[in-house]
A and B are shown apart, each in its own frame.
Chain A
């Protein structure tokens, strides 16, 4: 009976193991779970928390009453220099995030202790435009997915970080790269390319999550014979830009992916690309299965100020209407009907000088004199925009849309520049306008129904931090001085702050493990988690 004794002991050992090991779930992240992300608020499973783009957490353990007692729970140092723009994902107690130079890592979400780390061996001659950054992962099944600075899409095993598949999307030597957090939809990994500074022809791709096989590609600049091609002068479409470097959203009711696009190239010179330059600076509504376009809406036609419309689209349902909203880089807050793509309203939410009229649809129209000149002249907002890639949030409890905004004007200058593959292609430059100093940074709360700014909090200087809202009546954001701040969502009053020692270029998330709520954000070169004492 010796043998049975061993078996019993072994069985007891396994049983004890299950009892004491805490969260051991690690169930497959199915499309069903992603669709119903709101039902598991302890997890943060997509870039914006769910498919709606709201970056709103149902968690309310940390709330306006106790937020002032929050403390730091852990810090994870990436050990790298440069900006951290990542939004972490959290699934069943494990936090997944990305770092500089295409790092990815998995941490114990309760302690910050690393489980695995991946770092890509990047070619020495990559030239990403705006820092060697990455904004995060997508998760589906037992894999996490990442776009790389050398324009590959890769799948990593979620438990080990091992590379499962690695496919080339484009040639990095012509300025293509990925910085965006992909979006997993059904069995697909959807991702948009960066490279508007190099005159790439933008695209949005969908890959089979299991194999890496490309299922569809939508070129954001139409080729010959395609609708919209005639909005480009001559051959300018070939180097037209319109990258797609920020994460879109998904509407299951209509099976549509809403994805935003960026500037036409060259960014500061309209001469040589006469026309509206579709589909730059637009929202695209694409069929999730085929990548076919259902509708588009272009925010800034024939842009000459680098005003990418690559801000996260936020789906809002209000009064029986299915809407989609965007605080655009050009300084206007837009609300569209997401079934038809028709404009509902456009209201300035920051300092703008480029438009004082609207077209028949209500879309702000650029003044001729706002075009850049050889010597340069001042236009507001500046090239960095009233907002930029920093993620906004919509709080369904207050009914307010919160966004990081800045008032900065730039001197826009333009000069002819020939296209040369792999070389920066700006058509000149912009400079901060000294006369417009100081540049002001804000957190603004906008009522989407009216476009009215209900409250604003002025930072010491402009910040690149994204924003999170929670059911605890709180809004979280960071600043350029290194603070992470909890605001009262209704009034904008700061209730708590923590000095993290590095500027914020990332967006916060909320999650829970073992019934305890955490709020996490990246700052400087580290990821921080906060909670109640």
Chain B
């Protein structure tokens, strides 16, 4: 390596380090005006899932919680907003079909806004996660249909990540009234809406009745998982009947079936897993 080469490499490394350092901290941290500008941007680009005020809607986590699963530093948050989170509904900047692509400055404004909304402690103490796990795999029968960390049933959505991506209120709501907002299933790369966990009853040409949930569907075919976790791949024009329902296959867990305290414990368990 020539001396000139070495110098250039050293300069490059220093410059790269400087650039990284510049990205590592929020240049607008604590700036009230930037937080206000961030609020406008947040309403346009983020509130769709994270709710007005960043408290979390039915689809995205509550960002006012100081502890976040995917982001610790402002730099983490910048990366997540810019690039999205693979395998989740969190899209890369400018690709959510709503709002416009944000500049770096606008992303920092949003981070400033989110930080300004954070509350340092949970509003309510969490329940007993150990007891929640017992209930999940035991008396509450959740695991008959839901998997957590590779264990459980397949008929309902995998709940391993739900504690990190949904608000506590949304989780409680979907146990108490599962049909009010059906869970999202498969998301296809180019499709506007994710598939939803609709209930279905199909009767084949030879009179066989299939009951379950749709894994996917289009105008001409449907892919069903029945309550025995068998997959049925059906062409609609070959069916004797095909009935869908937005009544969730999951039973309603009223307070007399599952007490508020037990539900809090299950939610605490899901949050403890989701935070991993």
A binds B: yes
**Contact in complex: B193, A461 (CB < 8 Å):** yes
Given A413-B52, A429-B48; A483-B190 close (CB under 8 Å): no
**Contact in complex: A524, B101 (CB < 8 Å):** no
**Contact in complex: A424, B193 (CB < 8 Å):** no
- B127 lies within 8 A of chain A by Cβ: no
Closest residue to A416 on the B side, CB-wise? B40
| Interface 0/1 of A510-527, CB less than 8 Å to B | 000000000000001000
Which of A125, A128, A437, A503 contacts B190 (CB under 8 A)? A503
User: Which chain B residues lie closer than 8 Å to A434 at the CB level?
Assistant: 58, 180-181
User: Which chain B residues lie closer than 8 Å to A464 at the CB level?
Assistant: 192
- Residue from A130, A459, A485 having most chain B Cβ neighbours under 10 A: A130
The A-contacting residues of B in range 211-254, CB under 8 angstroms, are 217-220, 246
User: Which chain B residues lie closer than 8 Å to A413 at the CB level?
Assistant: 43, 47, 52
- CA–CA, A367 and B99, complex, Å: 26
Given A424-B99, A460-B217; A438-B196 close (CB under 8 Å): yes
- A120 lies within 8 A of chain B by Cβ: no
- CA–CA, A420 and B217, complex, Å: 44
- A135 lies within 8 A of chain B by Cβ: no
**Contact in complex: B44, A428 (CB < 8 Å):** yes
User: Which chain A residues lie closer than 8 Å to B97 at the CB level?
Assistant: 130-131
**Contact in complex: A127, B193 (CB < 8 Å):** no
Which of B44, B99, B191, B219 contacts A494 (CB under 8 A)? B219
Given A125-B103, A424-B100, A494-B219; A429-B193 close (CB under 8 Å): no
- Interface residue stretch chosen among A314-322, A397-405, A474-482: A474-482
| Interface 0/1 of A422-445, CB less than 8 Å to B | 011010111110100111000000
Interface size on A, residues (CB 8 A): 44
- CA–CA, A16 and B188, complex, Å: 51
Which of A423, A438, A481, A485 contacts B106 (CB under 8 A)? A423
- A502 lies within 8 A of chain B by Cβ: yes
- B189 lies within 8 A of chain A by Cβ: yes
Closest residue to B104 on the A side, CB-wise? A125
User: Which chain B residues lie closer than 8 Å to A494 at the CB level?
Assistant: 219-220
**Contact in complex: B40, A415 (CB < 8 Å):** yes
Q: How far is the CB of B218 from chain A (nearest CB, A)?
A: 4
Given A424-B44, A428-B43, A434-B181; A482-B193 close (CB under 8 Å): no
Which of B47, B94, B102, B220 contacts A497 (CB under 8 A)? B220
User: Which chain A residues lie closer than 8 Å to B103 at the CB level?
Assistant: 125, 127, 423
**Contact in complex: A462, B189 (CB < 8 Å):** no
Q: How far is the CB of B71 from chain A (nearest CB, A)?
A: 22
- B265 lies within 8 A of chain A by Cβ: no
| Interface 0/1 of B74-109, CB less than 8 Å to A | 000000000000000000001001111111001000
- CA–CA, A420 and B109, complex, Å: 14
**Contact in complex: A460, B219 (CB < 8 Å):** yes
Closest residue to A376 on the B side, CB-wise? B52
**Contact in complex: A497, B100 (CB < 8 Å):** no
Q: How far is the CB of B44 from chain A (nearest CB, A)?
A: 5
**Contact in complex: A127, B94 (CB < 8 Å):** yes
**Contact in complex: B100, A127 (CB < 8 Å):** yes
**Contact in complex: B219, A480 (CB < 8 Å):** no
- A417 lies within 8 A of chain B by Cβ: yes
- CA–CA, A429 and B100, complex, Å: 12
User: Which chain B residues lie closer than 8 Å to A497 at the CB level?
Assistant: 219-220
User: Which chain B residues lie closer than 8 Å to A461 at the CB level?
Assistant: 191-193
**Contact in complex: A481, B219 (CB < 8 Å):** yes
| Interface 0/1 of A471-512, CB less than 8 Å to B | 000000001111101000000001001010011000000000
- CA–CA, A72 and B180, complex, Å: 42
Which of B94, B101, B188 contacts A503 (CB under 8 A)? B188
- CA–CA, A359 and B196, complex, Å: 42
- Residue from A197, A481, A483, A503 having most chain B Cβ neighbours under 10 A: A481
- CA–CA, A404 and B89, complex, Å: 27
Q: What band does the interface of chain B fall in when counting residues whose beta carbon is under 8 Å from A? A: 35 or more
**Contact in complex: A415, B43 (CB < 8 Å):** yes
**Contact in complex: A197, B190 (CB < 8 Å):** no
User: Which chain B residues lie closer than 8 Å to A83 at the CB level?
Assistant: 190
Q: How far is the CB of B74 from chain A (nearest CB, A)?
A: 21
User: Which chain A residues lie closer than 8 Å to B101 at the CB level?
Assistant: 127-128
**Contact in complex: B219, A438 (CB < 8 Å):** no
User: Which chain B residues lie closer than 8 Å to A127 at the CB level?
Assistant: 94, 100-101, 103
User: Which chain A residues lie closer than 8 Å to B188 at the CB level?
Assistant: 481, 503
- CA–CA, A360 and B117, complex, Å: 50
**Contact in complex: A483, B218 (CB < 8 Å):** yes
- A129 lies within 8 A of chain B by Cβ: yes
User: Which chain B residues lie closer than 8 Å to A503 at the CB level?
Assistant: 188, 190-192
| Interface 0/1 of A118-140, CB less than 8 Å to B | 00000001011111000000000
**Contact in complex: A424, B52 (CB < 8 Å):** no
**Contact in complex: B190, A429 (CB < 8 Å):** no
**Contact in complex: B44, A439 (CB < 8 Å):** no
Closest residue to A432 on the B side, CB-wise? B48
Q: How far is the CB of B112 from chain A (nearest CB, A)?
A: 15
User: Which chain B residues lie closer than 8 Å to A128 at the CB level?
Assistant: 100-101
- CA–CA, A125 and B101, complex, Å: 10
User: Which chain B residues lie closer than 8 Å to A439 at the CB level?
Assistant: 193
**Contact in complex: A460, B218 (CB < 8 Å):** yes
Given A130-B97, A434-B181; A479-B219 close (CB under 8 Å): yes
Which of B37, B43, B182 contacts A429 (CB under 8 A)? B43
Closest residue to B106 on the A side, CB-wise? A423
Closest residue to B189 on the A side, CB-wise? A502
- CA–CA, A424 and B37, complex, Å: 11
The A-contacting residues of B in range 152-184, CB under 8 angstroms, are 180-182
User: Which chain B residues lie closer than 8 Å to A129 at the CB level?
Assistant: 100
- B41 lies within 8 A of chain A by Cβ: yes
Q: How far is the CB of B120 from chain A (nearest CB, A)?
A: 26
- CA–CA, A420 and B102, complex, Å: 13
User: Which chain A residues lie closer than 8 Å to B106 at the CB level?
Assistant: 423
User: Which chain B residues lie closer than 8 Å to A431 at the CB level?
Assistant: 47-48, 57
- CA–CA, A205 and B99, complex, Å: 26
Given A127-B103, A431-B48; A417-B40 close (CB under 8 Å): yes
Closest residue to B47 on the A side, CB-wise? A429
**Contact in complex: A524, B190 (CB < 8 Å):** yes
Which of B37, B100, B181, B182 contacts A197 (CB under 8 A)? B100
- CA–CA, A222 and B40, complex, Å: 28
Known: A434-B58, A481-B191, A524-B190. 6 other contacts (CB 8 A): A197-B100, A198-B100, A428-B40, A461-B191, A461-B193, A499-B218
The 4 closest A-B pairs by CB, nearest first: A481-B218, A503-B190, A429-B43, A502-B190
Query: 10 A-B pairs, CB-CB below 8 angstroms?
Result: A429-B43, A431-B48, A439-B193, A479-B218, A480-B193, A482-B190, A483-B220, A494-B220, A503-B188, A503-B191
- Name A residues whose Cβ lies closer than 8 Å to a Cβ of B: 83, 125, 127-131, 197-198, 375-376, 413, 415, 417, 420, 423-424, 426, 428-432, 434, 437-439, 459-462, 464, 479-483, 485, 494, 497, 499, 502-503, 524
- Name B residues whose Cβ lies closer than 8 Å to a Cβ of A: 37, 40-41, 43-45, 47-48, 52, 57-58, 94, 97-103, 106, 180-182, 188-193, 196, 217-220, 246
